Amino acid sequence: MNECLEAIKNRRSIRKFKEKKVSESDIRTLLHAAHMAPSAGNLQAREFIIVSGEEGRMDLASAALDQEFVREAPVVIVVCANTTRSESRYMARGTLYAIQDATASVMNILLAAHSLDLGTCWVGAFDERKTASLLNLPEHVRPIALIPVGYPDEAPTPHPRLGDKIEHWEKW
């Protein structure tokens, strides 16, 4: 199996992190991977907030319905959709595109992190208003996912997938 397929197969959500810091150069590598994700019309209707301060991570954990591991990771990348950037070209459809632009970059971050022996978790359960307010986000920028990043301190077993139960060849 090639390295890309290997990474897709072996990545797991990590919710327990070592205290070891993540280097700035690794964070920049993750952001570069995020920027390389596809986006509608290449508008890249996404923004990234990098939170490494203790207080910021604590606040994010509280906005994420008290998911403590968000605070325990040394850095949290908040991936946001910049809705007006996409809506200015694609109108109502642009709202959906901005969310897709953001989520495509989330997946790149998760896989790039895995390739650097870093652990991540896609955290979608959070109070959107609270998160936006903590991060001073403008009205047209929606937080889509929080990604705690750190060195894994657990090795979870794979979660089962539905596989061919959710495949529909030719038609539903």
Ligand X SMILES: Cc1cc2nc3c(=O)[nH]c(=O)nc-3n(C[C@H](O)[C@H](O)[C@H](O)COP(=O)(O)O)c2cc1C
Contacting positions for ligand X (CB under 6 A): 12-13, 15, 67, 121-125, 159
Q: Which residue number, 41 or 156, has a Cβ lying nearer to ligand X?
A: 156
Q: Which residue number, 159 or 168, has a Cβ lying nearer to ligand X?
A: 159
Q: What are phi and psi of 161, to 5 degrees?
A: -110, 155
Rounded least distance, CB 147 to ligand X, Å: 10
Rounded least distance, CB 149 to ligand X, Å: 14
Confirm if 96 and 107 have CB atoms less than 8 A apart.
no
Rounded least distance, CB 166 to ligand X, Å: 14
Count CB atoms within 10 A of the CB of residue 15. Answer: 20
Q: Which residue number, 44 or 67, has a Cβ lying nearer to ligand X?
A: 67
Residue nearest to ligand X (CB): 124
Count CB atoms within 10 A of the CB of residue 158. Answer: 9
Is the torsion defined by CA of 123, 68, 154, 53 positive or negative?
Answer: positive
Confirm if 161 and 149 have CB atoms less than 8 A apart.
no
Confirm if 116 and 55 have CB atoms less than 8 A apart.
no
Q: Which residue number, 41 or 100, has a Cβ lying nearer to ligand X?
A: 100
